[in-house]
Amino acid sequence: MARPPAARASLDYNKSNVSGKTFYLETFGCQMNAHDSEKVIGALMARGYEPVDTPAEAGLVLYNTCSIRDKAEQKVFHRLQQFQREAGKGKIFGVLGCVAQQEGERIFERAPHVSLVAGSASYTRLGEMLTQLEAGNRRVTGLSLDIDQAFETPFTRRDNPHRAYITIIEGCDKSCAYCVVPFTRGPERSRAGESVMAEARGLAERDYTEIQLLGQNVNSYRDPSPAGWDFATLLARVAEIPGIRRVRYTTSHPRDFGKSIVDAMDSNTAICDHVHLPAQSGSSRVLAAMDRLYTRDDYMRRIEWIKTAKRRYAITTDIIVGFPGETERDFEETLRLLDEVEYDSLFSFKYSPRPNTAALAMEDRIPEEEKQRRLVILQEKQRAIQIRRNAEWIGRTAEVLVEGRNPALGQWIGRTSDNRILNFTHPGGNGDSLAGRYMPVRVTRSGPNSLVGESASMV
Ligand code: 5AD
Ligand code: SF4
């Protein structure tokens, strides 16, 4: 069956129908935001809006924003300033996503040329909000978090023709002391299992082979329909769909990460060899202050399940350094955690105070230079671990999904099931694109962040 065209590339409808309605959407933040944007783009296009490549060409300029750290939040205000002067020329500006939810109507004061402010929990009302904008209303908001449904639309415009995101749960009911997400994405709401399955089957029929299940905390997924599937069940069911060769999921909360998830992974090789399990800190004292609801020992028990599983799974994590009150000793415990787990990769961040969060009022703030010092030490340690771990791959053969080509290096870009980038050469290239194919690749070289190899396929 034919694939749907990618959002930007497809202008396959009659332009005369769109009455000059054009839009530009820039996305910041996590995969949840990236996927929300795919849904918003689909909804706009179904309404006759045409995507354009620059804000200058667009009638409607939208920013789907992130507020996880202060730096991310500042980006959107820079963007808005850049185009402030354009406002007089009849452009409509909208702020969507987490900054919109967090700042609400204050955005209209800070950037008076903005006409739409809407958080992700209000996207179910997108059509209504667009109607208001089209009618000339220049103060349109969608800021209610009082919602019990996930945002679903049949119009999603997916960016990638092989890998598709599916939202299974939105919002978050945890209250990690540093985290703005419960305030920006609202309470947890799971989608019905059958609705997720129908979307996944539909994608398989349209030649998608990889599915990534998304949520702020996928492990607390609970099917609201009578079937009542938990996350492990849903994961196993999606992986059984004919045509689906890879299933990934993100992100996990260690407290809700049960052994049944590892068992589901063990039972079906379509579930990728990768677990992203954010630890945040290796110190039980800091974990308690963060209100993470697990200790270092609890976390290590989960790592044991993963390490003693039937297959070898890559383990990655998120770490925050410089949380209020983090002592040198606490930090050293985090460094020891890295040595113990030997993560395949990690994302590390300096603690950033966020509005509304419990940590905002905590004393013993760590000075910026000290946070920076800890971040560098952490990253250097991890780099050494990755150099060592990646080198273990030399001589092995792994299957990759080909993502594209790097013409400068004359290499194809592949991704392994355990989420490593494995770039490779393929002899006898006759100009055909390999993108979207699954191919065996023999690893010949390794670096801290990726592997290099050569195609081991006969074709
Ligand atoms: N400061 C720094 N990092 C943060 N994260 C979340 N909130 C903050 C914050 N206030 C990190 C966590 C999370 C990742 C997505 O971002 O590590 O897992
Ligand atoms: Fe950023 Fe968190 Fe919102 Fe994602 S959910 S866009 S990471 S603030």
Check pLDDT > 90 for residue 373.
Answer: yes
- Best CA proximity match to 276, nearest among 178, 206, 200, 346: 346
Q: What does residue 441 show for φ and ψ, rounded to 5 degrees?
A: -130, 135
Residue 185 Cα: closest atom of ligand 2: 5
pLDDT digits (tens, 9 = 90+) for 84-118: 766 557 899 999 999 999 999 999 999 999 999 99
At residue 429, the pLDDT reads: 60
Residue 84 pLDDT: 73
Residue 232 CB contacts under 8 Å (≥ 6 apart), including other chains? 258, 260, 261, 263, 264
Contact call for residues 320 and 178 (beta carbons, < 8 A): yes
Give the whole-angstrom CA distance, residue 216 versus residue 311. 26
109 CB burial (10 A radius; 0-12, 13-18, 19+): exposed
Using a 6 Å cutoff on CB, does residue 67 contact ligand 2? yes
H-helix or E-strand spanning residue 73: helix 70-82
- More confidently predicted of 244 and 55: 244
Position with higher pLDDT, 175 vs 88: 175
pTM of the predicted model, to two decimals?
0.93
Show Cβ contacts of residue 325 under 8 Å, excluding neighbours closer than 6 positions. Answer: 286, 289, 362, 363, 364
In 89-230, where does DSSP find H-type helix?
97-103, 106-110, 126-134, 181-185, 193-205
Atom of ligand 1 nearest to the CA of 350: 2
Which tokens sit at 172?
């978050």
Q: What is the mean pLDDT of residues 48-69?
A: 95
Which of 249-253, 357-361, 425-429 has the lowest average pLDDT?
A: 425-429
Question: How many whole angstroms from 345 Cα to the centroid of ligand 1?
Answer: 16
User: Is 382 near ligand 2, meaning CB less than 6 Å away?
Assistant: no
Per-residue b/e over 290-308, b at no fewer than 16 CB within 10 Å? bebebebeebbebbebbee
Does residue 315's CB lie within 6 angstroms of at least one atom of ligand 2?
Answer: no
Indicate the top mutation candidate among 28, 68, 294 to test ligand 1's pocket, ranked by most ligand atoms within 8 A of CB.
Answer: 68
Is the minimum distance from the CB of 281 to ligand 2 under 6 angstroms? no
Helices (H) and strands (E) in the chain, counts: 13, 19
Stronger pLDDT, 457 or 191, i.e. the higher one: 191
Q: Looking at ligand 2, which residue's alpha carbon is closest to its atom 8?
A: 68
